[in-house]
Structure 1
Amino acid sequence: MPFVTIDGQALHYIDQGTGPAVLLAGSYLWDQGMWAPQIAALAQQYRVIALDLWGLGQSGPLPVGTVSLDDLARQALVLLDHLDIERVTLVGLSVGGMWGTRLALSAAHRINGLVLMDTYVGAEPEPTRQYYFSLLKQIEEAGVITPALLDIVVPIFFRPGIDPQSALYRNFRAALAALPADRLRESIVPMGRITFGRDDCMNRLGELDAACTLVMCGDQDIPRPPEEAREMAELIGCPWVLVPEAGHISSLENPQFVTETLLAFLAERV
C-alpha cells in the first residue's frame, strides 16, 4: 500500500489508472472509501489519487504543527511532488474543498480544474461553530464517540429520511464507533477544530479561474446547504450543480450522478 512521509507522519493514498491526474479530497471523518464509485469509473481514463485524511483509514496521526487548512493544502502539494504530478484536477468534498480552494489559490499553476463539492470556504457561522466545538469537547473528554453522540453526528452526513438500516448508514456509524481514543484525541478532534475554526476566504474566490471551476452540492445537504454553494459559485462566476437525492456525502448517496458530472467536467478540461 502506498504511503508518503509528510511532516514526520505516514500519509496513505491510493494511485490507480493512467492519464491526466485527478486528486480526490474527501470529507472530515471519512477515508478515501467515500470515493469508491468515482475511483472505479474515473480510473479507466485518468490517473486517480485519493488520500486518507490524517487519523483516518490507514494514514498516521495529524502531524505536530498542522494547525490550519493551509497546512493541509501544503501537505497535498508534497504528495503531488512525491508522485511527480505537475498539474492535477482537484475534486474536494467538504473539508477537502476547503483546503483544496486554498491549494488552488496558492498554487494555481498546479491546477487544471477544481470541483468544490458540499463545501463552504467562508467562516463557520458562529452558532454552528460553537455547537460543533462542544461536540468535539465531549468526544475529547470521553475518548470515544458515544452512542448518544453517534445519534447526533451520523445523520448530519446524509439526506433526511435515509434508511438508518442501510449499509451506508450502518457502516459509517460503526466506523466512527470503532475509532480509538488516541486517534480521536490526536487527530479527529484537532482536525475538527481546524475545519470548523477556519478563517474566511470568500473574498478570494474571484481569484479562481471560473472557466475551470465547478461547484456541486447535494440538494438535501444539511451542514453545507445549497444556498452556500450558490453563493460561492456566484463569487467565482462558475456553474453550480445540485446533486438530486443526496445529502453531504453526495459521492455515495448519488454516485452515478456525481460520477457522470465529473466525467463530463474532466472531458472538457483535460
Structure 2
Amino acid sequence: MPYVTIDGQPLHYIDQGSGPTVLLAGSYLWDQAMWAPQIAALSQQYRVIALDLWGHGQSGPLPVGTTSLDDIARQALVLLDHLDIERVTLVGLSVGGMWGVRLALSAAHRLNGLVLMDTYLGVEPEPTRQYYFSLLKQIEEAGVITPALLDIIVPIFFRPGIDPQSPLYQNFRAALAALPTDRLRESIVPMGRITFGREDLMGRLGELDGASTLVMCGDQDVPRPPEEAREMAELIGCPCVLVPEAGHISNLENSGFVTATLLQFLTART
C-alpha cells in the first residue's frame, strides 16, 4: 500500500489508472474506500488518487501542529508534489470539499477543475456546531462510539428513507463501532473539531473559476442541504446538480448518477 510521510506521519493513498489526474477527497468518518465505485469507473480513463484523512483508514494519526483545514490542504499539496503531479481535478465531498476549496484558493494553478459535493464553505451554524461538539466530547470521554451515539451519528450520513438493515448502512455503523480509543481521541475527535469549527470562506468563493467548478448535493442531504449548495453555486457562478435519491454520501447512495456526472465534467475539462 502506498504511503508518504507528511509532517512526521504516514498518509495512506490509492493511486490507480493513468491519464489526467483526479484527486478524490472524502468525508469525515469515511476512508478512501467510500470512492470505490468512482475509482473503478474513472481509473479506466484517468489517474485516480484517493487519500485517507488522518486517523481514517490506513493513515497515521493527526500530525502534531495540524490545527486547521488549511493545514490539511497544504498536506495534500505535499502528496501531489511527492507524486510529481502538477495539476489535478479535485473532487471533494463534505470535509474534502472544505479543505479542497482552501487548496484551490491557495494554489489555483494546480487545478484543472473542482467538484464540491455535499459540502459547505460557510461556518457551521452555531446550534449545529454546539451539537456536534457535544457529540465529540461524549466520544472523547467514552473512548468509544457507543451504540446510543451510533444511533445518532450514522443516520446523519444517509437519506432519511434508507433501509437501516442495508449493507451500506450496517457496514458504516460497524466501522464506527470498531474505531479504537487512541484513534478516536488523538485523531477523529480533533479532526471533527477542526471541521465543525472551520472559518467562513463564503466571501472568497467568487475567486474560484466558475467555468471549471461544479457543485453537487444529494437531494435529501440533511447535514448539508441543497439550499447551501445552491447558495455556493450562485456565489461561484457555476452549475449546481442535485443527486436524486441521495443523502450526504451521495456518491454511494446514487453511485451511477454521480459517476456519470463526474465523467461528463471531466471530459469537458481534459
Q: TM-score, normalised by structure 1?
A: 1.00
Query: Counterpart of 1:64?
Result: 64
- What are the Cα deviations for residues 129-160 of structure 1, in whole angstroms up to 9, with x where unaligned? 00000000000000000000000000000000
| Matched residue type, 1:180 | P
- How far is 1:72 from its partner? 0.3
Aligned to 1:239: 239
| Alignment-derived partner of residue 131 in structure 1 | 131
CA–CA distance in 1 between the matches of 2:56 and 2:131? 23
Corresponding residue for 1:163? 163
Q: 1:81 Cα shift?
A: 0.2
Write out the 4+ residue segments of structure 1 that deviate beyond 2 Å after TM superposition: none
Partner SS state of residue 214, structure 2 = strand
3-state SS, counterpart of residue 92 of structure 1 = strand
Map of 1:266 onto structure 2: 266
Alpha-carbon displacement from aligned partner over 1:198-219 (angstroms, at most 9, x marks no partner): 0000000000000000000000
Aligned to 2:223: 223
> Could you tell me the percent identity over the aligned residues?
88
Taking the aligned partners of 2:258 and 2:67, their CA distance within structure 1 comes to: 31
Distance 2:65 2:125 in 1: 26
Could you list the per-position Cα deviations for residues 15-46 of structure 1 after superposition, in whole angstroms to 9, with x for gaps in the alignment? 00000000000000000011000000000000
Distance in 1 of aligned mates of 2:160 and 2:16: 33
How far residue 161 of structure 1 moved from its aligned partner, in angstroms, is 1.3
The one-letter amino acid of 1:94's match is S
| Structure 1 match to 2:197 | 197
Distance 1:89 1:81 in 2: 15
Q: Work out the CA distance in 2 between the residues paired with 1:11 and 1:163.
A: 34
CA RMSD of aligned residues (A): 0.3
Q: Which runs of 5+ in 2 are unaligned?
A: none
Matched, 1:181 2:181: yes
Q: One-letter code of the match for 2:157? A: F
Query: 2:48 matched to 1:17?
Result: no
Distance 2:53 2:76 in 1: 10
Q: Give the match for residue 146 of structure 1.
A: 146
For residues 168-193 of structure 1, give each alpha carbon's deviation from its aligned partner in whole angstroms, at most 9, with x where no partner exists: 00000000000000000000000000
Q: Report the equivalent of 1:40.
A: 40
Write out per-residue CA displacement over residues 243-270 of structure 1, whole angstroms, 9 at most, x where no aligned residue: 0000000010000000000000000001
Aligned equivalents of 1:18, 1:97: Cα separation in 2:
24
3-state DSSP of counterpart to 1:102: helix
Distance in 2 of aligned mates of 1:141 and 1:199:
26
Q: Where does residue 118 of structure 1 map in the other structure? A: 118
Tell me, which stretches of 5 or more residues in structure 1 are unaligned?
A: none
Q: Counterparts of 1:23 and 1:233 in 2: how far apart (Å)?
A: 21
The 1-side partners of 2:2 and 2:136 are apart by 31
Could you tell me how far apart the structure 2 residues matched to 1:55 and 1:210 are? 33
Q: Give the match for residue 92 of structure 1.
A: 92
Letter in 1 for 2:202: M
Code of the aligned partner of 2:80: L
Cα deviations by residue, 1:81-138 (Å, 9 ceiling, x for unpaired): 0000000000000000000000000000000000000000100000000000000000
The residue aligned with 2:27 is: 27
Aligned residue type for 1:187: S
